[in-house]
């Protein structure tokens, strides 16, 4: 067994997971807010924030899909060892991790059902260089508006129109995380 595989998880799992869960719920409840996540050292190309989200929100009953460069042996082995989550295709995944282009097309992920809208996928989108603000966010958790940068606007507008169905999005870069839930209305800045 690779010794690096054994490293990188939470040092103090109950406390680290509690802090991470609170930060994850804060960004989801307040779109446009940015939080910093710490406590894990996942293998590249997985960011610290994405690794912390996986350690906090996933378990052996939470299927995960890895897209693009994130679908590599180091990341698969790390998730298997530290989380125990099954790694599957996009159609039945509860969480999906990858770059924006690698996660396309979004319509292959489950958006829930009218009876169970909560049975939808959550995207963990790993961001590269930070583009300029291109979106205005409105909706629950936002006082009036919030400025954001999104990889494209149409996908989020179509997603919001599906409410109460739809996908929820975490955006990660390094140790930073922000979110755009399905309840958020998106306009061009």
Q: What is the CATH number of the domain that holds 141?
A: 3.40.50.11310
Angle separating helix axes 48-57 and 13-29, nearest 10 degrees: 100
Per the structure, how many domains does the chain have?
A: 1
DSSP letter for 85, please: P
C-alpha distance across the termini of the chain, in Å: 50
Distance CA 81, CA 78 (A): 5
Spatial CA neighbour of 27 closest among 18, 36, 16, 14: 36
**Contact (CB, 8 A) for 189 and 133:** yes
**pLDDT, one tens digit for every residue, the chain (189 residues):** 566 666 788 888 899 999 999 999 999 999 999 999 999 999 999 999 999 999 999 999 999 999 999 999 999 999 999 999 999 999 999 999 999 999 999 999 999 999 999 999 999 999 987 668 899 999 999 999 999 999 999 999 999 999 999 999 999 999 999 999 999 999 999
Segments forming the whole domain that contains residue 141: 3-188
């Amino acid at each position: 067994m690779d010794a690096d595989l054994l490293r990188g998880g939470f040092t103090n799992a109950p406390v680290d997971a509690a802090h991470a869960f609170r930060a994850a719920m804060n960004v989801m409840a307040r779109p446009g807010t940015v939080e910093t996540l710490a406590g894990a050292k996942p293998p590249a190309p997985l960011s610290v924030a994405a690794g912390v989200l996986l350690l906090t929100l996933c378990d052996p009953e939470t299927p995960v899909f890895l897209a693009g460069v994130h679908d590599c042996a180091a990341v698969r082995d790390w998730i298997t060892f530290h989380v125990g989550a099954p790694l599957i295709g996009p159609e039945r995944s509860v969480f999906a991790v990858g770059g924006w282009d690698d996660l396309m097309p979004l319509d292959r992920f489950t958006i829930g059902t009218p009876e169970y809208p909560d049975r939808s996928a959550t995207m963990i989108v790993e961001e590269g260089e930070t583009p300029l603000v291109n979106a205005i966010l409105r909706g629950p958790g936002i006082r009036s508006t919030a400025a954001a940068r999104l990889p494209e606007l149409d996908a989020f507008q179509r997603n919001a129109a599906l409410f109460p169905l739809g996908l929820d999005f975490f955006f990660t870069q390094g140790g930073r995380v922000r979110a755009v839930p399905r309840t958020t209305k998106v306009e061009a800045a």
